[in-house]
Structure 1
């Protein structure tokens, strides 16, 4: 009896050790996507009222947990029954990310900024009168984007445990899913409340705290603006990266391009390191633009067929 218990404990310790090692490997491989996930989600929840920031972040975080609850068993099932489906599904998600990125760029180009105080007040009043729908759209968009990024994180993590037992796969994917969701949205909550922290410090008696508070108040809008740009770029990088890895021709072109630029004296290694990122961005933007054009063409055909 005692020997059986010791064997069982030894087996449990071995499984936990495997889970710890594989979870660490999966975390390293998904670190790049995690950075994009953070930038995208911080950008997605920006623009809401200060008192509604944390409720919106929490709503998106709950949506992210639901995404993982769907994706983890789905990924395990697909990897077992139809592993060939993983790449096409990731491709669809990548194209959607690229499409959303181009949509954001086009919206920013066509959206006219308020030139006078009255125009700014009218724009703010329009948003406030439809605040509920504005928040719902923000949450839906963020959860939708999170689904694609979560899918990539789950698939990358699954690749690190491909030879493991089913129970180990399930535990590793669950640890990665839960840990990264808490990490990302905890950090997003901190980012969106920087301005509130700055305001609190400016009201303190200490002159040092007041200076820090003023610095945070000046830094917060610049950070959010930067995250908006970085988040949009991340859409092209993640989407383009999925496409270039899925299509062998693009993948070979990227490798050949890196080999060629690395031959440049002195700066070859530096340019070679950023070349894949640049190619992913270009591929992502072109793919997103193509999807926008195709959708626009379909909408025109449908509208013309209705008028006939």
Structure 2
């Protein structure tokens, strides 16, 4: 549940920054010191991305473990090891390809300009270099939507364990109703309606979490950190 709420908060914060950039920057300044040092700024962004990826991976592992509750310990350990390896290879493998794509494009364009291999490799290299900013922007939008959707879904399904199953049933019934209205593509429509409902729950909870973090969680965290520093230096 807490992991899902964190994903909702991260996704909603990016939407908030897109819609109201000045207010979002003020919110970020309240949470942490904004450094003009490029290396520090990059380190903060990398740490945030790693933290989000860790939470998302942990939620995937928890969901996998929950689906294997009736299996033996050896089977659970084997499946978790395989899922963890696949997640690591897929996520960081794709990230590595994306990060190095513009470098490969630049190398390809420079190499093609010095050889007689033709215009196509040079065009391909330039296309990679010029197209990567747009690709990263699109991937950022997709990642934001995915965080909100996954976080909302975790909250909706996790609420059932605490006796609040009405929301999950409401989204399921809405999906079934949409499927009956469009029987030709019923399965797809049902999934889309339920995913949209989870996304709506995620964005609402995330937007509600922004002021809560700014006015309650962050001050409490700073107070605790200050107390710990005083205890260490005492």
> What range is the shorter-chain TM-score in?
0.7 to 0.9
Partner of 1:246: 158
1:261–1:268 Cα contact (<8 Å) kept: no
* Correspondence for 2:175 among 258, 262, 266: 258
Say which SS state the counterpart of residue 188 (structure 1) adopts: helix
Task: Give, in whole Å, the separation in 2 of the partners of 1:257 and 1:109.
Answer: 29
Listed as ranges, the matches of 1:1-308 within 5 Å are: 91-111=1-21, 130-203=37-110, 204=112, 205=115, 206=117, 207-247=119-159, 248-265=165-182, 269=186, 270-298=188-216
Say which SS state the counterpart of residue 263 (structure 1) adopts: helix
Residues 111, 289 of structure 1: alpha-carbon distance in 2 compared, 3 angstrom cutoff: closer
1:163 shift after superposition: 2.1
Task: Give, in whole Å, the separation in 1 of the partners of 2:140 and 2:48.
Answer: 14
Structure 2 length normalisation: TM-score?
0.76
Question: Between Structure 1 and Structure 2, how many residues are aligned?
Answer: 198
Say which SS state the counterpart of residue 262 (structure 1) adopts: helix
RMSD over aligned Cα atoms: 2.5
Structure 1 length normalisation: TM-score?
0.59
2:11–2:144 Cα contact (<8 Å) kept: yes
Task: Give, in whole Å, the separation in 1 of the partners of 2:217 and 2:53.
Answer: 27
Residues 209, 273 of structure 1: alpha-carbon distance in 2 compared, 3 angstrom cutoff: same
Task: Give, in whole Å, the separation in 2 of the partners of 1:221 and 1:297.
Answer: 35
1:289 shift after superposition: 1.0
1:93–1:148 Cα contact (<8 Å) kept: yes
Task: Give, in whole Å, the separation in 2 of the partners of 1:94 and 1:300.
Answer: 19
1:279 shift after superposition: 0.6
Query: Which ranges of structure 2 fall in alignment gaps of 5 or more residues?
Result: 23-33, 160-164, 221-234
Find runs of 4+ consecutive structure 1 residues off by over 6 angstroms.
299-302
